[in-house]
Amino acid sequence: MSKSLIADIVESFVEEHGGDDRDWIRVGCPWCGHENTSKRNMSVALKTGYFYCHRCQEKGFYKRSKAKEWYVPPVDNPLSEIPKPTITLPDEFQPLSERPVAGTDIRFWNYVTGRGVHPETIVDCGIGYCQFGFYRDCIVVPLWDGPNLSGFVARNIVDRSYRYQKGFKREISMFNKDRLWDDDPIVVVEGVFDALPHYPHTVAVLGKPSHEHKKLLASCRKRVYVMLDGDAKAESWALATLLRVGGVDAIYVPVAPGKDPGDASHEEFLQAIQQASNQP
């Protein structure tokens, strides 16, 4: 298949959504089914032309059309000349796939799947890793706002510490944010590794919910389960109560002290939600 098809897909996306200061975008893969727009399995670096499909592992570089000037700001906007801070994936980022492939450090794949993350979730979320640099030994979980990268969470698999990128604002960031706008119930948890084993039913606020997180959740017009860590029982109950006062169908789901939602099997997770739903 000609790589020019990649350029056509990317250019069509940019024409519809704009290219401006984006670094990475997610599009459908022409090798394994780009017609399915809900499964944007291919990550594309607009500035370098590098592409990688998290499902079929097709990768390479495409040649951008010389006729497309994606990064020229509008001339009628004087503020557009001011550089905007952008969030990019680390230069050392390597994507994971549904199964270990040649050249992949098996430690990272084993760590993610050992945390209960399904291989298909690895693909859908574009999870990767870094072997070198500032994010050495880190699993990297991108945060997508639609098809656009809004940040990432980096977790060191050796010392379990987190690394954060310059310009990242946790208080306005959320994992799986797009789920806020569909019709299905969601479960609010704290960390990405609380959310990933139960994906796609979960959104993570990356710690204790901020004021901005609460405003976003208050805009939901569907059922919202609040299931923060076991050490945040008061905050979890208070958030559910606050959302109910604002008209949201919110339910508090208790977690045992010292436990996190990510510690539970998916069956235990669903059982806890069902029990909370049955409470008067």
Q: How many CB atoms lie within 10 A of CB 60?
A: 10
User: Which residue positions in the chain have pLDDT lower than 70?
Assistant: 1-23, 33-39, 47-48, 61-86, 103, 280
- Are 246 and 218 in contact by the 8 Å Cβ rule? The answer is yes
Distance separating alpha carbons of residues 46 and 254, to the nearest angstrom: 43
pLDDT of residue 147: 77
Q: Torsion over CA of 261, 170, 147 and 119, rounded to 10 degrees?
A: -30
Residue type, 91: D
Which region, left, alpha or beta, applies to residue 275 given φ > 0 means left and ψ of -120 to 50 means alpha? Answer: alpha
What is the rounded CA–CA span in Å between residue 146 and residue 204?
Answer: 16
pLDDT single digits (tens) 20-53: 455 677 777 777 765 444 567 777 777 667 777 7
Q: What percent of the chain has pLDDT over 90?
A: 49
Tokens representing residue 29 in the block: 């893969």
Q: How far apart are CA 182 and CA 5, in angstroms?
A: 30
How do beta strands 138-145 and 148-156 pair? Answer: antiparallel
Residues with Cβ within 8 Å of 59's Cβ and at least 6 positions away in sequence, in order, are 50, 51, 52, 53
Q: Cα separation of 146 and 107, whole Å?
A: 30
Structural domains of the chain, with CATH: 4-68 (no CATH), 170-280 (3.40.1360.10)
